[in-house]
């Protein structure tokens, strides 16, 4: 089973690679004021463009592939008539194995790391 620490590592690595490629400082706040994965609690509350990254009804039931987080990392997300590009925009993109670790964590219940205080 994957852990929150592993999910954070994947997301941190992804944005660092993007920043290195672009030479830009990532302004993650463009997504929303609640866009963060700095803690377990922050990721579970996180939204991007008014969409929950991980909707509660998709946790722990094999539906992680339907979360906006996973869809955005894998191929981009279509919401209504809006198409959001694969993230991070322009790549480099997370590997299939890294995305699978995020899915495993969501499908496993989005548990905090053992001994983690919220």
pLDDT, tens only, 53-108: 999 999 999 999 999 999 999 998 777 787 888 999 888 999 999 999 999 999 99
**Pairing assessment for the beta strands 77-79 and 82-84 based on DSSP bridges:** antiparallel
12-34 pLDDT tens trace: 999 889 888 887 766 666 666 77
43-56: pLDDT as tens digits: 999 988 888 999 99
pLDDT of amino acid 32: 60
What is d(CA 5, CA 88) in angstroms, rounded to the nearest whole number?
19
What proportion of the chain, given as a percentage, has pLDDT over 70? 88
Structure-token pair, residue 69: 């987080």
Q: What is the pTM of this model?
A: 0.89
Please check whether residue 100 is in contact with residue 75, taking contact to mean a CB–CB distance below 8 angstroms. no
Confidence of residue 39 (pLDDT cuts 50, 70, 90): very high
Domain layout of the chain by residue ranges:
4-107
Distance separating alpha carbons of residues 102 and 106, to the nearest angstrom: 6
Nearest to 74 by CA among 91, 61, 58, 87: 87
């Amino acid at each position: 089973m994957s852990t929150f620490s592993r999910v954070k590592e994947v997301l941190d690595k992804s944005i660092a690679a993007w920043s290195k490629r672009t030479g830009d400082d990532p302004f993650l706040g463009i997504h929303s004021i609640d866009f963060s994965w700095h803690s377990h609690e922050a990721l579970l509350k996180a939204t991007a463009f008014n969409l929950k990254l991980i909707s509660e009804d998709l946790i722990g039931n094999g539906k992680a592939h339907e979360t906006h987080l996973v869809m955005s990392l894998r191929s981009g997300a279509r919401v209504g008539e809006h198409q959001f590009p694969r993230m991070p925009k322009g790549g480099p993109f997370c590997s299939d194995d890294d995305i699978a670790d995020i899915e495993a964590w969501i499908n496993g219940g989005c548990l905090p790391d053992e001994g983690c205080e919220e």
